[in-house]
């Protein structure tokens, strides 16, 4: 590399970078080095070389992580929780945050509630009856720094990555910042992204055509690093579409099939303890724009209905009650993903009869001025709809 006029800080950082062996740390040091790099013309070449190096190191790290994951997924399934009910919510928090007490308060479960850590040693499911359906709640053993590196932590987080919703249980009697740092940190290490937009970057692997990037204006950074990263990972034919503002990290996530995007909310608990109002304010100030926050107290049974509704809302499902002409509606609703239309319900009941030989559908809506309306197969359903199907 040609000698360039550089600052003493840069020189020092270069030494640190060159002496660092750990790959992840090397990346951090190189990023620091780049931030200290001179901006004049004579240094351009050097900076470009370092940037290429950085892309290579990141690609190497991604590859190692993938290998690690492949190794781990060969492990046992012991302690796995079978999904049941209309949807599943994982209760995640530090030890003693009050997860078990909350779950006991809204289910028939009798989990151990105790003031020592890890009183719930493995992932534990319970069923919560809610508005004619059942929602499965799973307590994930208390997280701690480094939990992802333990076998029980990995097993627990595998459940969390495949769940429908994560409830972050925050204890208003313990330090808020500390809890959030631990919990968000471990989830992030497990490649679980909360309330993140998975559609900001779309990746399409193609057989030929080279590297094509659309929506460059959305990329928040130097677009060269995108090409460098792809080349360094030996991805030669791909279409990358930035559809919304996106960072380098989002690009890396999008290329990584193992990243999970999960809806999440915060359940703030122990609202009965002194000082909890201030703690709740802090929580709202720091995290209110990223998460819905429901304040509760398991001990006093406060706001548990609001919690149930918030959990339900985060599952993004609809309840649709079917009805036979001349009879009352069914007691148990069909459960469909939000955004479903009449045809989705018809398919679930009896495809031959109600889709292929569809004649008409009638929807009854309680909170509607029009109480009864005749609709077609493409009509969007709403939560609580009563649906009557007729076939030829």
Ligand X SMILES: Nc1nc2c(ncn2[C@@H]2O[C@H](COP(=O)(O)OP(=O)(O)OP(=O)(O)O)[C@@H](O)[C@H]2O)c(=O)[nH]1
- Residue 234: how many other CB atoms lie within 10 Å: 8
For 203, the enclosing helix (H) or strand (E) is strand 201-205
Binding at 297: pick from ligand X, Mg ion, none (beta carbon under 5-8 Å per type): ligand X
Contact between 118 and 142 (Cβ < 8 Å): yes
Specify the 3-state DSSP secondary structure of 56: helix
Q: Which of residues 76-115 bind Mg ion (CB under 5 A)?
A: 99-100
Binding track over 139-178 against ligand X, x by CB under 6 A: ---x------------------------------------
- Residue 24: how many other CB atoms lie within 10 Å: 13
Question: CB-based contacts of 256: which residues, under 8 Å, 6+ apart?
Answer: 62, 66, 191
Tokens 């009869």 belong to: 353
CB of 140 to ligand X, least distance (A): 9
Considering only the stretches 12-20, 88-96, 192-200, 369-377, report the one whose residues sit in contact with ligand X under the rule CB under 6 A: 88-96
Does residue 113 touch ligand X according to CB under 6 A? yes
Does residue 272 touch ligand X according to CB under 6 A? yes
CB of 112 to ligand X, least distance (A): 7
Contact between 143 and 183 (Cβ < 8 Å): yes
Strands 358-364 and 385-391: antiparallel
How far is 180 from 216, CA to CA, in rounded Å? 34
* Residue 33 or 126 having the CB closest to Mg ion: 126
* Terminal Cα-to-Cα distance of the chain (whole angstroms): 79
| Among positions 250, 297, 340, 388, the unique one binding ligand X when judged by CB under 6 A | 297
Does residue 279 touch ligand X according to CB under 6 A? no
How far is 182 from 144, CA to CA, in rounded Å? 6
* Residue 280 or 379 having the CB closest to ligand X: 280
How far is 341 from 382, CA to CA, in rounded Å? 9
| Among positions 26, 263, 270, 319, the unique one binding ligand X when judged by CB under 6 A | 270
* Residue 171 or 253 having the CB closest to Mg ion: 171
Does residue 99 touch ligand X according to CB under 6 A? yes
Contact between 139 and 103 (Cβ < 8 Å): yes
* Residue 119 or 173 having the CB closest to Mg ion: 119
| Among positions 21, 22, 115, 367, the unique one binding ligand X when judged by CB under 6 A | 115
Does residue 120 touch Mg ion according to CB under 5 A? yes
Binding residues for ligand X, rule: CB under 6 A, are 93, 95-101, 113-115, 117-120, 142, 269-270, 272-273, 297-299
Q: Which residues bind to Mg ion, rule: CB under 5 A?
A: 99-100, 119-120
């Amino acid at each position: 590399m040609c000698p360039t006029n550089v600052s003493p800080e840069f020189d020092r950082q270069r030494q640190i970078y060159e002496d660092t062996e750990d790959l992840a740390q090397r990346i951090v040091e190189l990023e620091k080095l780049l931030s200290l790099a001179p901006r004049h013309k004579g240094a351009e070449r050097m900076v470009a070389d370092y940037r290429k190096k950085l892309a290579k190191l990141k690609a190497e790290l991604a590859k190692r992580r993938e290998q690690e994951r492949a190794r781990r997924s060969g492990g046992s399934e012991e302690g796995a929780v079978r999904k049941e009910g209309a949807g599943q919510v994982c209760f995640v928090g530090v030890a003693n945050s009050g997860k078990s007490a909350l779950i006991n308060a809204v289910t028939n479960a009798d989990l151990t509630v105790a003031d020592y850590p890890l009183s719930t040693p493995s992932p534990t499911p319970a069923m919560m009856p809610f508005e004619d359906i059942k929602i499965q709640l799973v307590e994930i053993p208390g997280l701690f720094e480094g939990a992802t590196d333990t076998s029980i932590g990995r097993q627990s987080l595998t459940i969390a990555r495949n769940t429908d919703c994560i409830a972050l249980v925050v204890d208003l009697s313990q330090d808020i910042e500390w809890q959030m740092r631990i919990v968000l940190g471990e989830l992030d290490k497990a490649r679980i992204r909360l309330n993140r937009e998975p559609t900001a970057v779309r990746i399409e692997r193609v057989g030929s055509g080279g590297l094509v990037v659309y929506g460059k204006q959305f990329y928040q950074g130097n677009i060269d690093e995108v090409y460098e990263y792809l080349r360094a990972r030996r991805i030669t034919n791909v279409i990358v579409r930035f559809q919304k503002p996106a960072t380098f990290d989002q690009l890396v996530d999008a290329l990584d099939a193992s990243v999970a995007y999960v809806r999440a909310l915060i359940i703030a608990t122990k609202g009965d303890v002194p000082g909890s109002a201030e703690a709740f304010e802090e929580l709202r100030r720091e995290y209110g724009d990223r998460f819905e926050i429901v304040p509760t107290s398991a001990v006093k049974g406060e706001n548990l209905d609001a919690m149930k509704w918030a959990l339900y809302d985060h599952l993004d499902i609809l309840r649709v009650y079917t009805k036979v002409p001349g009879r009352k509606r069914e007691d148990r609703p069909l459960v469909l993903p939000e955004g479903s239309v009449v045809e989705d319900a018809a398919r679930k009941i009896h495809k031959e009869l109600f889709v292929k030989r569809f004649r008409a559908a009638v929807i009854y809506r309680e909170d509607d001025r029009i109480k009864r309306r005749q609709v077609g197969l493409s009509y969007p359903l709403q939560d609580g709809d009563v649906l009557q199907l007729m076939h030829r």
